[in-house]
Amino acid sequence: NAGVMQNPRHLVRRRGQEARLRCSPMKGHSHVYWYRQLPEEGLKFMVYLQKENIIDESGMPKERFSAEFPKEGPSILRIQQVVRGDSAAYFCASQSTWSSGSDTQYFGPGTRLTVL
């Protein structure tokens, strides 16, 4: 998966707890995308960040979900007060830069979130 790191690989939470998912992009990549793969469904875009900026969060639920990509450190996807419907695989993808026609994204191994 071309060097994109995600942790933890598996996360179990009880309803109402918080989940924090981390993503370290490939070296030299400053663009991070988060996608969610619900059981039996395809991957869906959630949010796109560059260092210290959220560029597009149109795919992210309005409540309980937030994302950041600080100047130093990994990108974090945070889910507050998790519910069973949040159980899914969450993937991070990184890209060195973006311009139309140059859109290759490299994916991490994902975090499998299970909400009990």
Residues that bind another protein (CB under 8 A): 1-2, 4, 6, 31, 33, 35, 41-45, 48, 55-56, 59, 91, 93, 95, 98, 100-110, 112
Say if residues 80 and 30 touch (Cβ distance below 8 Å): no
CA–centroid distance for 43 within its chain: 11
Minimum distance, C-beta of residue 5 to another protein, in the bound complex (Å): 11
Q: Which is nearer to another protein, 79 or 93 (CB)?
A: 93
Q: Which is nearer to another protein, 44 or 78 (CB)?
A: 44
Taking every pair of C-alpha atoms in the chain, what is the biggest distance, in angstroms?
42
Q: Which is nearer to another protein, 10 or 15 (CB)?
A: 10
Q: Which two tokens stand for residue 74?
A: 């990994």
Residue 77: other Cβ atoms inside 10 A: 27
Q: Which is nearer to another protein, 6 or 13 (CB)?
A: 6
Minimum distance, C-beta of residue 54 to another protein, in the bound complex (Å): 11
Minimum distance, C-beta of residue 67 to another protein, in the bound complex (Å): 13
Residue 37: other Cβ atoms inside 10 A: 15
